[in-house]
C-alpha cells in the first residue's frame, strides 16, 4: 500500500497558453492498495466512484502500455483541489494513475517516460509538468517527448486564488477558442510570455503587470465566468501585480507583492459585493512536485 501526493497547478499564467504552469501547496492524495480482484473507490463523489474514474482509467491505460494484467485495486481519495476548477485536478488524477500502475509493475517507466505519457493522455503539458516536477515550469511537446525548464520565481511575489462555486470543464472552455488567430496576435503573445518569464524571475513588478495580457485564450473564455471582467478591472486598478485566468477557469489567479496585505483585504471586500460566492486562497509554491511513499 502506498500514497501518491500531487500538487495543484495553475496553467497558462496569462499569455503562456499550454506552456506555462506553476505548482502550489494544495494537494490531492491517493492511497493505492492492490487487492485480489475488482475495483473499490473511497473518498470521492459517487459520480466518480466507478470504472470511468480518471485515476483508474489512467492506470488501465498504463497497464496496457506495459502489457501487464492488473489485479484488483482499492483507491482512497483525500482531495483538497476543486474538481473542474482550473487548478489541475485532472492532472493530479492522470499522474496518480500512471504512477500507481507503474509502481505496481515494478517501476518500469522512468520519471521522464511517466511525464511524457501523462502529457499524451492530458493533451497538453502545462499542468502535468509542474505537478510532476514542482515550481514554475515552461514546457513543450516535441515528437511525443516533454521538454521543460524550471523558472525560479522571485521570492517577493505571492499568489492568491479567487475560487467561485462553479465548475467549468476544460472541454467546454476549449470549445470557445478559435481555430485560427491573426498573425499579429501570435506575435503579441510571444512578446508577452517572454516579458512575463523574465519579470517573474527578476521581480520586475511593472513587467509582471504589463505581461499578463493575452490574445490567444482569455478574451474568448472570460465570458464563461460571471464577474470576470469586474474582478479583472478591479485588480488592474489596484496595487496588485497581475491577474489571469487559472488554466481553463473558473478560478482567477492574482499576483501580489509578498508584503501587500492591504490590496488582499480590499480584494476580499470587493468580492463580497459580487453575486455568487467567491473564496480567496493564498497559495505557496510547491517546489517538489509529485511524491510517492509506502504506508
Q: Which parts are annotated binding residues for ATP? A: 82-92
Please give the helix or strand (H or E) that residue 10 lies within, else none: strand 2-11
Q: What are phi and psi of 93, to 5 degrees?
A: -70, -45
Residues annotated as binding site? Answer: 82-92
Q: Are 161 and 253 in contact (CB under 8 A)?
A: yes
Compute the Cα dihedral for 17, 20, 22, 28 and give only its sign: positive
Among 200, 259, 253, 248, residue whose Cα is nearest residue 231 = 253
Query: Grid coordinates representing 118?
Result: 501523462
Classify 148 as helix, strand or coil: strand
Find cell 520565481 and name the residue.
153
Angle ∠(73,74,77) on CA atoms, nearest 5: 130
Dist. CA 237–CA 239, nearest whole Å: 7
Q: How many CB atoms lie within 10 A of CB 229?
A: 11
- β pairing state of 136-142 and 145-151: antiparallel
Q: How many CB atoms lie within 10 A of CB 54?
A: 17
Q: Are 19 and 40 in contact (CB under 8 A)?
A: no
Give the bridge partners for 283, in sequence order: 159
Query: Grid coordinates representing 279?
Result: 473564496
Q: What are phi and psi of 38, to 5 degrees?
A: 85, -175
Amino acid at each position: 500500500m502506498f500514497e501518491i501526493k500531487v500538487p495543484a497547478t495553475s496553467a497558462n499564467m496569462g499569455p503562456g497558453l499550454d506552456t506555462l504552469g506553476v505548482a502550489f501547496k494544495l494537494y490531492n492524495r491517493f492511497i493505492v492498495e492492490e487487492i485480489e480482484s475488482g475495483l473499490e473507490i473511497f473518498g470521492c463523489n459517487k459520480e466518480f466512484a466507478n470504472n470511468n474514474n480518471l485515476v483508474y482509467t489512467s492506470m488501465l491505460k498504463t497497464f496496457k502500455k506495459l502489457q501487464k494484467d492488473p489485479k484488483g485495486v482499492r483507491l482512497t481519495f483525500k482531495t483538497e483541489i476543486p474538481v473542474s476548477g482550473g487548478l489541475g485536478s485532472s492532472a493530479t488524477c492522470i499522474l496518480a494513475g500512471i504512477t500507481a500502475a507503474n509502481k505496481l509493475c515494478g517501476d518500469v517507466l522512468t520519471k521522464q517516460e511517466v511525464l511524457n505519457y501523462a502529457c499524451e493522455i492530458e493533451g497538453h503539458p502545462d499542468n502535468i509538468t509542474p505537478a510532476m516536477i514542482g515550481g514554475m515550469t515552461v514546457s513543450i511537446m516535441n515528437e511525443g517527448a516533454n521538454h521543460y525548464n524550471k523558472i525560479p520565481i522571485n521570492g517577493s511575489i505571492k499568489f492568491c486564488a479567487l475560487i467561485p462555486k462553479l465548475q467549468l470543464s476544460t472541454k467546454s472552455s476549449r470549445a470557445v477558442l478559435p481555430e485560427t488567430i491573426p498573425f499579429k496576435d501570435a506575435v503579441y503573445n510571444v512578446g508577452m510570455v517572454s516579458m512575463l518569464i523574465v519579470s517573474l524571475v527578476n521581480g520586475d513588478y511593472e513587467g509582471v503587470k504589463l505581461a499578463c495580457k493575452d490574445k490567444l485564450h482569455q478574451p474568448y473564455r472570460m465570458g464563461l465566468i460571471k464577474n470576470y471582467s469586474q474582478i479583472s478591472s478591479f485588480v488592474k486598478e489596484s496595487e496588485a501585480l497581475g491577474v489571469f485566468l487559472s488554466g481553463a477557469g473558473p478560478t482567477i489567479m492574482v499576483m501580489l507583492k509578498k508584503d501587500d496585505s492591504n490590496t488582499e483585504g480590499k480584494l476580499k471586500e470587493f468580492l463580497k459585493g459580487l453575486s455568487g460566492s467567491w473564496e480567496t486562497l493564498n497559495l505557496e509554491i510547491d517546489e517538489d512536485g509529485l511524491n510517492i511513499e509506502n504506508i
